[in-house]
Amino acid sequence: MPSTVRIPEPHAAEVPWRYYDLAKSRVQIHEPPAPGEVCLWLVPSEFRFASASNIGSWLSLAERKRTRLHPNSALGRRFGVARATLRLVLSHMLDCEPHEVGVDDGPGERVVVTHPSAGGAIYVDVAYSGIWIVIAVASTRIGLGLTVETAGAHDADARKLMWHEAARIGRARAAHGEAGDDAAPAGWHALTLPMPGEICGVLVVEKSVARVQAFGWDRPFEAEAGAAAS
């Protein structure tokens, strides 16, 4: 049985978020995330920057085969877009070409990034829900948890249970392959993600988050008002 997740329940608004269009990644991200910083991308499966030609040239042979031979062609396409987008955004951080970024699959769906410029300081997680791809990059261990509301799950108690399940998934993904979920540090931090539709999203982070750089999310009304006033 996995250990019980005991982490605070902050709202996304409690941590400063900066919202950008997806196309702004190249001009806004020039180096790996600093301590306390998380970079997030919300990407649709039909992300136009991950074109068929880019997928073909940026993915490894094994990844191209996985994309092409997936039993569900839509899910295969989604995987290819996710990997191509991940290499694209990491290439901005590492000042290299997308195909030069090493991306491998670790235990428990972990994503392992290798590049001479990375210095072991980049942690990545990628999660999926429907047409959506969520990519998280930080300088500390992270894990994404996504759940979807079911019929009748609109009351507060049901939402809280969904939140805890998403947090449990995120913590398990962050801790997997290190010391096991039960042995994970007690001081995990959780950040709720403003996901579209009926998706409940949580990012679990080993250390506290001071700033979020978010690409592809709709800017909330509060953020719009704050930007206009500044």
Is residue 122 included in any domain, yes or no?
Answer: yes
Res 57: pLDDT: 81
Is residue 42 included in any domain, yes or no?
Answer: yes
Judge contact between 29 and 213, C-beta under 8 A: yes
Q: At what angle do helices 73-94 and 61-69 cross, to 10 degrees?
A: 150
Is residue 222 included in any domain, yes or no?
Answer: no
Q: What is the number of structural domains in the chain?
A: 1
Mean pLDDT of 178-183: 46
Mean pLDDT of 173-187: 58
Domain limits for position 96: 12-214
> Can you tell me which residue has the tokens 């047409």?
131
pLDDT at 116 over 60: yes
Is residue 7 included in any domain, yes or no?
Answer: no
Mean pLDDT of 198-207: 92
Q: Over the chain, what is the mean pLDDT?
A: 79
What is the maximal distance between C-alpha atoms in the chain? Answer: 51
pLDDT at 180 over 70: no
Q: Give the residue with greater pLDDT, 118 vs 145.
A: 145
pLDDT at 100 over 60: yes
Q: pLDDT band at 118, cuts 50/70/90? A: low
Is residue 44 included in any domain, yes or no?
Answer: yes
Res 177: pLDDT: 45
* Mean pLDDT comparison of 149-158, 165-174, 177-186, highest-scoring range: 165-174
Is residue 82 included in any domain, yes or no?
Answer: yes
Is residue 179 included in any domain, yes or no?
Answer: yes
Tens of pLDDT, residue by residue over 130-166, are: 999 999 999 999 999 999 877 655 677 777 888 889 9
Is residue 74 included in any domain, yes or no?
Answer: yes
At CA 135, angle to CA 152 and CA 180, rounded to 5?
A: 80
Tens of pLDDT, residue by residue over 27-57, are: 788 888 999 999 999 998 887 776 666 777 8
Q: Give the residue with greater pLDDT, 26 vs 215.
A: 215
Q: pLDDT band at 227, cuts 50/70/90? A: very low
pLDDT at 178 over 60: no
Mean pLDDT of 110-130: 82
pLDDT at 211 over 90: yes
Res 153: pLDDT: 55
Which CATH number do you get for residue 74? 3.90.470.20
pLDDT at 213 over 60: yes
